[in-house]
């Protein structure tokens, strides 16, 4: 999905946002973007976002939801920025990016930030629709938390069963064990796992709290029973081997959601 998220009571990283956006041309869509900075240039990239990019996004109709950087080296700590935008529709996203790219102010900002060379090595974009069980997200004004971005890949035909388990059991059990639900999404395009992937965001007080919460969740008899029942009904696991991925994220100082 008002990481990695003002809002997420925005992370629709907020995400109760889906209920606040007016559907148009197919309804609201979300865009998960990952930037990999060129070596040594993540700080320059973050400065450009902080001082200019977020404001120019809003100018062109894109809503900033959450911005975060990975905490672990295996996930790109020190070189990646992960963020989530909201658009009124897929067509609106196309038009917003077109007008953003043509904006003289953006062109000037981009050129000045790259006087010493390119600061972005790679940009990845995944368009998402919000899951129909997406929870409302309460406003949060406390200390910055740790976000966790998780993706689950299912065997063919089992995304509905996975969604049902989250809707009927998992989301409530996360809250029971101290994890905050931020947003649940499905990729829209086949190349990104449409029809077989769930991407969601949680918030934890810190890494130690996350570890404690996950241990309690996995040992909860209600969860154990729900997992067993869902797998029995589906004829097997609801995720493929190695189909569960987790990335811990720290919100940036300019993220609308902390």
Percent share of the chain, pLDDT over 70: 90
Measured torsion, CA atoms of residues 205, 210, 213, 219, in degrees rounded to the nearest 10? 180
Q: For residue 54, which of 37, 33, 26 has the smallest C-alpha distance?
A: 33
Cα distances (Å, whole numbers) of residue 245 to 24, 101, 109: 32, 32, 35
pLDDT at residue 18 in the model: 40
Mean pLDDT, the chain, rounded, equals: 91
Percent share of the chain, pLDDT over 90: 86
The domain locations on the chain are: 16-130, 146-250
Average pLDDT in the 115-124 region? Answer: 97
In angstroms, the CA 109 to CA 219 distance is 51
Instruction: Tell whether the model's pLDDT for residue 8 goes beyond 60.
Output: no
Q: Which has the minimum average pLDDT: 16-20, 186-190, 191-195?
A: 16-20
Instruction: Tell whether the model's pLDDT for residue 195 goes beyond 50.
Output: yes
Domains 16-130 and 146-250 share a fold: yes
pLDDT at residue 22 in the model: 35
If you classify domain 16-130 with CATH, what class do you get?
alpha beta
**Tokens 């209920």 belong to residue:** 19
For residue 46, give every residue at least 6 positions away whose Cβ sits within 8 Å of its Cβ, in sequence order, or none: 69, 81, 252, 254
CATH node for 146-250: 3.30.70.100
In angstroms, the CA 8 to CA 257 distance is 5
Average pLDDT in the 179-191 region? Answer: 97
pLDDT at residue 75 in the model: 98
């Amino acid at each position: 999905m008002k990481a990695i998220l003002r809002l997420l009571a925005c992370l629709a990283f907020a995400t109760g946002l889906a209920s606040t956006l007016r559907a148009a041309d197919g309804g609201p869509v979300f865009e998960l973007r990952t930037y990999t900075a060129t070596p040594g240039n993540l700080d320059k990239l973050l400065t450009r976002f902080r001082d200019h990019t977020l404001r120019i996004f809003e100018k062109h109709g894109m809503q900033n939801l959450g911005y975060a950087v990975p905490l672990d080296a295996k996930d790109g700590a020190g070189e990646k920025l992960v963020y989530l935008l909201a658009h009124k529709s897929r067509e609106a996203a196309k038009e917003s990016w077109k007008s953003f790219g043509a904006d003289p102010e953006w062109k000037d900002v981009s050129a000045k930030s790259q006087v010493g060379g390119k600061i972005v090595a790679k940009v990845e974009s995944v368009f998402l629709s919000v899951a129909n069980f997406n929870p409302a997200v309460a406003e949060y004004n406390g200390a910055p938390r740790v976000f966790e971005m998780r993706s689950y890949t299912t065997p063919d035909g089992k995304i509905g069963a996975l969604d049902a388990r989250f809707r009927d059991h998992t989301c409530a059990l996360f809250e029971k064990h101290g994890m905050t639900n931020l947003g649940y999404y499905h990729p829209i395009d086949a190349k990104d796992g449409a029809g077989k992937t769930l991407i969601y965001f949680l918030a934890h007080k810190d890494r130690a709290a996350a570890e404690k919460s996950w241990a309690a969740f996995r040992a909860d008899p209600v969860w154990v029973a729900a997992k067993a029942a869902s797998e029995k009904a589906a004829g097997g696991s609801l995720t493929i081997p190695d189909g569960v991925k987790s990335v811990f994220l720290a919100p940036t100082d300019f993220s609308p959601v902390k």
